[in-house]
Amino acid sequence: MLSRTPFALPHPNLPRKEGGTKNAVFIAAWLAEFQNCTDYCYIGLNDVQQAYESAGLKTKFKPDGTLYITFPDGQWRVLMPRFTTGGQGYVPAEMLIINTLREPLTPEIKLSGYDNPLLSFGPLKVRLGTQAQPVAGMNFYHQMIGLLVGALTSPKLEQGWSASYGGIDRRFPETDTWPQMTVKTGLKAGEVVMLLTKKDADTYFVDLAPVAQNGSATLYRFPQHHSLKFVNDVRALSPSLSGDEVPALLVKVTGVNLRDLKSGIFLPKS
């Protein structure tokens, strides 16, 4: 863990929340497409620079606060601060993860926990949220769906990913009308798992949930998927044909290197 822990402040241009924290930057933003308030986490670029350099990468700040990262093959990436406070620029946690996943030589990146998750980026460990300013797992992991599906399905992460998907947004009451299923995971409480099926030939359906104390996870399934058959290869996924069992994938998304998310695929306990 880095000696200096990133701290948290409300975004200067958005409504402030009472209470302080000594972790990642927390803001509340209004999303027009959802018309609902959701939580975002920002990480200081000074800490990001230390994490990249710990992996032997060259970094340099430009006068405008932009961080340039140079990789051994000569390729470079840019992290532009979304805002600056206290002399330090901040980037969204999701942007840091995306940039890390797309390069083969970068610090290992992992998530752990559901509410107030912990982001591990090489030696940098950042708690995304606190008791005073919490980051709800249902918000954070919903925002991560596209990234997780891309990391799981892309044949070459360096080339990016493009995946069509739909996912459950647990913030809305109408979510409760969707059919649920409970699976025995055999995992410890607090791990986060993802259920992945295909709605049609080109679109995935996704839900994420924490593992309960009894080792089970309750997940939403696509209404037309009445019977699921769990598989251990993303290439085996296909939409339902004439009422047949629909292939489904369970993936542990916490505690695994997100660059190798396939290593989190598992079959439920009988």
Q: What is the pLDDT of residue 112?
A: 95
Phi, psi of 150 (to 5 degrees): -65, -45
The SS3 assignment for 95 reads helix
Q: Among candidates 223, 208, 201, which has minimal Cα distance to 254?
A: 208
The SS3 assignment for 139 reads helix
Q: What is the pLDDT of residue 91?
A: 87
Residue 90 carries which side chain, given as an amino acid letter? Y
Is residue 82 within 8 A of residue 42, CB to CB? The reply is yes
Residues of the chain with pLDDT under 70: 1-40, 104-106, 155-163, 165, 171-176, 241-243
- The pLDDT tens digits of the residues spanning 183-192 come to 999 999 999 9
Task: Show me where the domains of the chain are located.
Answer: 25-135, 144-266
Of all residues in the chain, the percent with pLDDT exceeding 70 is 76
Buried b or exposed e, range 166-179, using 16+ CB within 10 angstroms: ebbbbeeeeeeeee
Is residue 194 within 8 A of residue 250, CB to CB? The reply is yes
- The pLDDT tens digits of the residues spanning 209-250 come to 999 999 999 999 887 777 899 999 999 998 876 667 899 999
Tokens representing 24 are: 């990642």
d(CA 101, CA 188): 26
Largest CA distance in the chain: 61
The SS3 assignment for 44 reads strand
Q: What is the DSSP letter of 101?
A: H
Q: What is the pLDDT of residue 243?
A: 65
Beta bridge partners of 247: 229
d(CA 36, CA 51): 34
Q: What is the pLDDT of residue 53?
A: 86
d(CA 59, CA 96): 14
For residue 100, the tally of other CB atoms under 10 A from its CB is 24
d(CA 207, CA 195): 5
The SS3 assignment for 97 reads helix
Q: What does pTM read for this prediction?
A: 0.77
Chain centroid to CA 124 = 16
Is residue 252 within 8 A of residue 196, CB to CB? The reply is no
